[in-house]
Amino acid sequence: MKIVQPVQAPKPLGPYNHAVISGNLVFCAGQIPLDPLTGQVVAGGIEEQTLRVFENIKLVLADAGSSLSRVVKVTVFLKDLNDFAGMNKVYSQYIPSNFPARSTLQVARIPKDVLVEIEVVAEV
């Protein structure tokens, strides 16, 4: 197992790594909409927060030697399932084709009370 801990990504909120590589897969921890420079939650609604989450995921995947085009599984956690369309609008800009498997769940609470958290598994 290889640890992925990019210095340009927001610091983890707890005792975990941004990602680990096992075999030819990179397992990325859930990313929330934290600005990597300030460590603060980005302002705005679901679209702005989803945008920041995907930018953070891109940083982690790049450090692992992968990219969004190599994602095979996505799990989306939403604070409110009514934000599904707004999240999907941004999601489709980052993953426009060759869609990976995906699960989307409404959850009771996400760290820092953000609107969205996304985790991915990708090939390296």
CATH number at residue 46: 3.30.1330.40
Q: Which two tokens stand for residue 95?
A: 């993953």
Element (H, E) at 119: strand 116-123
Q: What is the CA radius of gyration of the chain?
A: 13
Distances from the Cα of 93 to the Cαs of 1, 18, 72, 105, in angstroms? 31, 23, 17, 20
Element (H, E) at 38: none
Structural domain boundaries enclosing 18? 2-123
Q: Which two tokens stand for residue 22?
A: 């096992």
Question: In which band, very low, low, confident or very high, does the pLDDT at 93 lie, cut at 50, 70 and 90?
Answer: very high
With tokens 């992968």, the residue in question is 66
Q: Which two tokens stand for residue 111?
A: 């760290």
> What pLDDT score was predicted for residue 36?
94
90: nearest Cα among 106, 103, 76 = 76
Rounded average pLDDT over 16-33? 97
Number of domains, the chain = 1
Q: What is the pTM of this model?
A: 0.96
Residue 12 has pLDDT above 90, yes or no: no
Rounded average pLDDT over 43-50? 98
Distances from the Cα of 64 to the Cαs of 18, 22, 30, 56, 94, in angstroms? 10, 11, 15, 13, 18
